[in-house]
Amino acid sequence: MPSKNRIYKQATAESYSALYSRVEAHFSVEELTRDNLIEWLNNDSLADSLSLTGELDSKIKEAETIEELRELRDDARTLPVYKAEIMRRIGERAEEIKVSELEETIARAMVSLETFAEERGIKLTETTKGGIYLKWGRYHRPAIVIFKDGKIKAWRYLTEEEIKDNE
């Protein structure tokens, strides 16, 4: 015969699971605010614990760095409701940030390349192309290189400031 303590723990786990399911069915992630939960649950402490989901969702939308999202992911692992949904949203936001950072890097590289071509009086075309190479030349340093018909036309190593701008 199972002990009373074990039966209680199992019953409690089932009760919480049922409550969490009802909360997820009644509220979307965005609606999980403390005020909405207090009104629905009539329990301040439980509302506080469940409203963390809504707060994390807002912080995910405001996050601007991958590091911020890592910290939010740590908090999300302890959520009783919408854990998988919040983790998915963190992953999506991380991808958005990575794409945005990559786009900025490409834009800065294009500006550097166009400026260098202008300085040298070179017009970039289909046969005259350029790029930034991270390990160029004897010293394997970042450099801007312009090719014409597959041959090196001009190049120069990037300055420390340009390297920081292109990171």
Mean pLDDT of the chain: 84
Higher per-residue confidence, 69 vs 159: 69
The 10s digit of each residue's pLDDT in 31-60 is: 888 888 888 888 777 888 788 888 999 999
- Residues forming a β-bridge with 129: 147
CA distance 12 to 125: 71
The ranges assigned to domains in the chain are 4-100, 120-165
Distance in angstroms (rounded) separating the CA atoms of residues 93 and 62? 10
Read off the pLDDT of each residue in 84-108 and give the average, rounded to a whole number. 91
Model confidence, pTM: 0.68
- 12's tokens: 């409690």
| pLDDT tens by residue, 135-153 | 888 888 888 899 988 898 9
Question: By the 8 A CB rule, do 121 and 150 touch?
Answer: no
The band of 12, judged by pLDDT with boundaries at 50, 70 and 90, is low
**In the predicted structure, residue 2 carries a pLDDT above the cut 60:** no
CB 26 within 8 A of CB 40: yes
Calculate mean pLDDT across residues 107-117. 87
- Say what the pLDDT of residue 94 is: 95
pLDDT at 19: 81
Please report the pLDDT score of residue 51 as a whole number.
Answer: 85
Residue of 70, 17, 75 whose CA lies nearest to 51: 75
Residues 60-86 have pLDDT tens digits of 999 999 999 999 999 999 888 889 999
Q: Residue 5 pLDDT more than 90?
A: no
- Ranges assigned E (strand) in the chain: 128-136, 141-148, 151-157
